[in-house]
Amino acid sequence: MDIQDIKLLADIGVLGSNSGLTREAEHIFAALRLSKSGEQIAVTTTALNLFNRGQFPEAAQALSKWCENKAPAIPHALLAMVYWTWGFNVNAEAYARDVLSQAIEPEAHALAKEVLNGMGVTY
């Protein structure tokens, strides 16, 4: 599977998850996990699917395992969003600030800023 195929599958899975087809989306995310090059995408989309189901502890667990030994990036920003939505604002702020200070992706910065703004925290 090349990266374009992975991105297409991820998009389909996210659209399905956002439309309430969370079980079907999980099958797509499981397939992405089998691809080494799609591992980060699989983790973030799986967590998003769990988030859409309201399964915040499971979403946080899936992301925290991935984020543990990796430089701040999109999964870290998503973890900040999960923690914020779940009510763990201290954790949310810490992850969001790490993203703003260390991540390179503009999408990660945008999500981290959204989390901090939603919490009323200045950065």
> Model confidence over 31-78: pLDDT tens digits?
777 666 677 888 888 888 889 889 999 999 999 998 998 999 989 999
Helices (H) and strands (E) in the chain, counts: 7, 0
DSSP state of 1: -
Contact present, 79 and 66 (Cβ < 8 Å): no
Give the Cβ contact number of residue 94 at 10 Å: 15
The pLDDT score that the predictor gives to residue 120 is 96
Query: And the tokens for 72?
Result: 């701040």
Work out the mean pLDDT of the chain and round it to a whole number: 87
Please state the pTM of the whole predicted model: 0.79
End-to-end CA gap in the chain: 40
